[in-house]
Structure 1
Amino acid sequence: MTTAQMDMLWLAYGKAGIVGTIRHTDDIYRVTMSDRREVGDYPSIEVAKNALMSHLKAGTPRPDFRRA
Protein backbone atom coordinates (compact mmCIF):
# COMPACT_ATOMS: atom_id res chain seq x y z
CA MET A 1 0.00 0.00 0.00
CA THR A 2 1.31 3.45 -0.92
CA THR A 3 1.08 6.42 1.41
CA ALA A 4 -0.10 9.51 -0.44
CA GLN A 5 1.64 12.77 0.41
CA MET A 6 -0.93 15.53 0.76
CA ASP A 7 0.18 19.00 -0.25
CA MET A 8 -0.58 21.87 2.09
CA LEU A 9 -1.09 25.43 0.95
CA TRP A 10 -0.91 28.67 2.90
CA LEU A 11 -2.16 31.95 1.44
CA ALA A 12 -0.53 35.17 2.63
CA TYR A 13 -3.14 37.94 2.87
CA GLY A 14 -2.12 41.58 2.95
CA LYS A 15 -4.31 44.70 2.97
CA ALA A 16 -4.86 44.50 -0.80
CA GLY A 17 -5.43 40.75 -0.98
CA ILE A 18 -3.17 37.75 -1.51
CA VAL A 19 0.52 38.72 -1.65
CA GLY A 20 1.94 35.20 -1.99
CA THR A 21 1.64 31.50 -1.26
CA ILE A 22 3.57 28.78 0.52
CA ARG A 23 3.12 25.20 -0.67
CA HIS A 24 4.39 22.24 1.35
CA THR A 25 5.35 19.17 -0.68
CA ASP A 26 7.58 16.35 0.46
CA ASP A 27 10.09 18.02 2.79
CA ILE A 28 10.11 21.55 1.35
CA TYR A 29 8.10 24.73 1.62
CA ARG A 30 8.00 26.57 -1.73
CA VAL A 31 7.35 30.32 -1.66
CA THR A 32 5.70 32.04 -4.63
CA MET A 33 4.76 35.70 -4.76
CA SER A 34 1.41 36.84 -6.16
CA ASP A 35 3.09 37.88 -9.43
CA ARG A 36 4.02 34.17 -9.87
CA ARG A 37 7.69 34.82 -9.13
CA GLU A 38 9.14 31.85 -7.25
CA VAL A 39 11.24 32.94 -4.29
CA GLY A 40 12.67 29.56 -3.33
CA ASP A 41 12.40 26.37 -1.30
CA TYR A 42 12.81 26.31 2.49
CA PRO A 43 13.12 23.65 5.22
CA SER A 44 10.33 24.92 7.52
CA ILE A 45 7.15 26.97 7.44
CA GLU A 46 8.64 29.68 9.67
CA VAL A 47 11.67 30.14 7.40
CA ALA A 48 9.34 30.22 4.38
CA LYS A 49 7.13 32.89 6.00
CA ASN A 50 10.20 35.02 6.73
CA ALA A 51 11.41 34.60 3.14
CA LEU A 52 8.03 35.73 1.80
CA MET A 53 8.11 38.74 4.14
CA SER A 54 11.57 39.72 2.95
CA HIS A 55 10.24 40.05 -0.62
CA LEU A 56 7.50 42.52 0.31
CA LYS A 57 7.91 46.27 0.09
CA ALA A 58 9.75 47.80 3.07
CA GLY A 59 7.35 48.76 5.85
CA THR A 60 4.61 46.38 4.71
CA PRO A 61 2.84 44.81 7.72
CA ARG A 62 3.26 41.06 8.16
CA PRO A 63 0.58 39.28 6.12
CA ASP A 64 -1.97 36.96 7.69
CA PHE A 65 -1.06 33.37 6.75
CA ARG A 66 -4.12 31.13 6.32
CA ARG A 67 -4.08 27.47 5.46
CA ALA A 68 -6.21 26.75 2.40
Structure 2
Amino acid sequence: MNDNTTVEQRWVAFGPAGAVGSIHRTAEGFQVKLVDDDDYRGSYPSLEVAKSALHASLAPGAEWPDFREH
Protein backbone atom coordinates (compact mmCIF):
# COMPACT_ATOMS: atom_id res chain seq x y z
CA MET A 1 0.00 0.00 0.00
CA ASN A 2 1.29 3.46 -0.78
CA ASP A 3 0.82 6.74 1.09
CA ASN A 4 -1.84 7.90 -1.39
CA THR A 5 -4.40 5.17 -0.58
CA THR A 6 -7.77 6.50 0.56
CA VAL A 7 -9.62 4.50 3.20
CA GLU A 8 -13.32 4.43 2.35
CA GLN A 9 -14.56 2.44 5.34
CA ARG A 10 -13.02 0.98 8.48
CA TRP A 11 -13.97 -1.84 10.83
CA VAL A 12 -12.22 -2.29 14.17
CA ALA A 13 -11.95 -5.82 15.57
CA PHE A 14 -12.40 -6.14 19.33
CA GLY A 15 -11.47 -9.15 21.45
CA PRO A 16 -11.98 -9.67 25.20
CA ALA A 17 -8.99 -7.40 26.04
CA GLY A 18 -9.83 -4.61 23.56
CA ALA A 19 -8.96 -3.73 19.97
CA VAL A 20 -6.93 -6.41 18.15
CA GLY A 21 -6.91 -5.11 14.58
CA SER A 22 -8.75 -3.37 11.79
CA ILE A 23 -10.01 -3.81 8.26
CA HIS A 24 -9.86 -0.91 5.82
CA ARG A 25 -11.88 -0.81 2.62
CA THR A 26 -10.00 0.89 -0.20
CA ALA A 27 -10.15 0.89 -3.98
CA GLU A 28 -7.81 -2.15 -3.90
CA GLY A 29 -10.11 -4.24 -1.67
CA PHE A 30 -10.28 -4.98 2.05
CA GLN A 31 -6.94 -4.65 3.83
CA VAL A 32 -6.15 -6.24 7.20
CA LYS A 33 -3.90 -4.84 9.90
CA LEU A 34 -3.34 -6.04 13.47
CA VAL A 35 -2.82 -3.44 16.20
CA ASP A 36 0.96 -4.02 16.37
CA ASP A 37 1.49 -4.16 12.57
CA ASP A 38 3.32 -1.39 10.73
CA ASP A 39 1.91 -2.40 7.34
CA TYR A 40 -1.17 -4.14 6.00
CA ARG A 41 -1.02 -7.93 5.82
CA GLY A 42 -2.75 -8.19 2.47
CA SER A 43 -5.71 -7.21 0.35
CA TYR A 44 -8.81 -9.41 0.19
CA PRO A 45 -11.76 -9.42 -2.23
CA SER A 46 -14.56 -9.22 0.37
CA LEU A 47 -15.21 -8.14 3.93
CA GLU A 48 -15.98 -11.71 5.02
CA VAL A 49 -12.67 -13.02 3.64
CA ALA A 50 -10.82 -10.14 5.34
CA LYS A 51 -12.54 -10.93 8.66
CA SER A 52 -11.46 -14.56 8.36
CA ALA A 53 -7.89 -13.50 7.53
CA LEU A 54 -7.74 -11.21 10.55
CA HIS A 55 -9.06 -13.95 12.83
CA ALA A 56 -6.53 -16.42 11.39
CA SER A 57 -3.74 -13.95 12.23
CA LEU A 58 -4.61 -13.97 15.92
CA ALA A 59 -3.11 -16.36 18.46
CA PRO A 60 -4.31 -19.98 18.26
CA GLY A 61 -7.59 -20.43 20.11
CA ALA A 62 -8.50 -16.74 19.99
CA GLU A 63 -12.21 -16.00 19.99
CA TRP A 64 -13.86 -14.56 16.88
CA PRO A 65 -13.58 -10.77 17.33
CA ASP A 66 -16.49 -8.37 17.33
CA PHE A 67 -16.20 -6.20 14.20
CA ARG A 68 -17.57 -2.65 14.50
CA GLU A 69 -17.69 -0.19 11.64
CA HIS A 70 -16.10 3.20 12.40
Q: Smaller-chain TM-score range?
A: 0.7 to 0.9
Whose radius of gyration is greater, 1 or 2?
1
Tell me the percent identity. 42
- With normalisation by structure 1, the TM-score equals 0.86
CA separation in 1, counterparts of 2:55 and 2:42?
13
Greater share of strand: 1
Letter of the structure 1 residue corresponding to residue 34 of structure 2: M
CA RMSD of aligned residues (A): 1.5
Following superposition of structure 1 onto structure 2, how do residues 1-68 of structure 1 map, counting pairs within 5 Å? 7-37=8-38, 38-68=40-70
- With normalisation by structure 2, the TM-score equals 0.84
Residue segments in structure 1 that go unaligned for 5+ positions in a row: none
Letter of the structure 1 residue corresponding to residue 25 of structure 2: H
